[in-house]
A and B are shown apart, each in its own frame.
Chain A
Amino acid sequence: MPHDHQDHDHDHSGMSPSGHPYREDQDRTRSYWQTMEIAARELMIEKGVITADEVAAQIDAMDARSPARGAAIVARAWLDPEFRKLLLVDAPAASTELGIDIGPLNLIAVENTDKVHNVVVCTLCSCYPRDLLGLPPDWYKSRAYRTRAVREPRRVLAEFGVEVPQDVTVRVHDSTADMRYIVIPARPGGTDGMDEAALATLVTRDSMIGVGQARQPG
């Protein structure tokens, strides 16, 4: 029987990459579903489907994915017109050019302008560009968001603090199948002369889902 605690060694001393403690799941009374997770994982390892090292590596890889990846792509698109063009027609190729491997993710980039505001939802489940933005926030998976975003997107956006003028078209993208979406938010004013790294700090997760705007500098 494998006796490998490799994945336990990757607990990061109980702290998440964002510096928060994990929920106290290690010390609380174990739930039925946690029991199932341990049992399923051990059986999958013993049957040779996966290894404990692969589980640990996968968790580390997921922890390394954060909205910073998407922000790097957006900042490059703001600065480099050729890159922006490539991103809009072939987002996987553009990501690869930046050294960001998005794996089998079929990515489409959509751009906010003074005429169009894009917003992304998955009404059927919780499809999300996790390779670029990390795991989806809880609200993205909520019934309220999934239900309302396709029917009253402007009210939803207002709830997130984004007022879209009537002469701007709202384009809602329902991720129903194999594609994932990233919104390129509009570049804020007063950012002339800022370099790529500084621009990337203005690009929030929510702005790349379409429920926010890029931050103003300063």
Chain B
Amino acid sequence: MPTPDPLAPGARVRVRTMMPPGHVRTPAYLRGHVGRVERVLGPFGNPEQKAYGHTGDRLPLYRVRFAMADIWPTSEAPSDTLDAEIYAHWLEPL
């Protein structure tokens, strides 16, 4: 799998909605939601391969920032934020 080009900080991204049964590090509560790249990290080995005893492909990792209002139907304070680290293959650039 070729390494995708890194996204720039500030880029809008949507988290993929797929729900595979294996080991993944993308929380379900973020899937399908839109945020912005806060900073670019990595590359790091893909944990979805390492978990099963294989060498992980080196992937860019992004810290993506979401507004609470964009994740939850009701939020305590809409402009509070949630940052999470998400591997490149889970993000769809918008």
- Closest residue of A by beta carbon distance from B39: A108
Q: Given B42, B76, B81, B86, which contacts A176 in the complex, CB threshold below 8 Å?
A: B86
**B84 on the A face (CB < 8 A):** yes
B contact face: mostly helix, strand, loop, or mixed: strand
Chain A interface (Cβ < 8 Å from any Cβ of B): 106, 108, 123-124, 150-155, 166, 169-179
Contact B76 A152 (CB under 8 A): yes
Contacts of B44 in A (CB 8 A): 177-178
Q: Given B42, B79, B83, B87, which contacts A172 in the complex, CB threshold below 8 Å?
A: B83
Contact B76 A175 (CB under 8 A): no
* Most chain A Cβ neighbours within 10 Å, of B47, B72, B76: B76
List residues of B (64-87) whose CB comes within 8 Å of A's CBs.
72, 76-77, 79-87
Could you list 16 further interchain pairs (A-B, Cβ under 8 angstroms) beyond the known A154-B80, A172-B82, A177-B44?
A: A106-B41, A124-B27, A154-B76, A154-B77, A170-B80, A170-B81, A171-B81, A171-B83, A172-B80, A172-B81, A173-B84, A174-B83, A176-B86, A178-B44, A178-B85, A179-B41
- Closest residue of A by beta carbon distance from B26: A176
Q: List 18 A-B contacts (CB under 8 A).
A: A106-B41, A108-B63, A150-B29, A154-B76, A154-B77, A154-B80, A169-B77, A170-B80, A171-B83, A175-B85, A176-B25, A177-B44, A177-B61, A177-B86, A177-B87, A178-B42, A178-B44, A178-B61
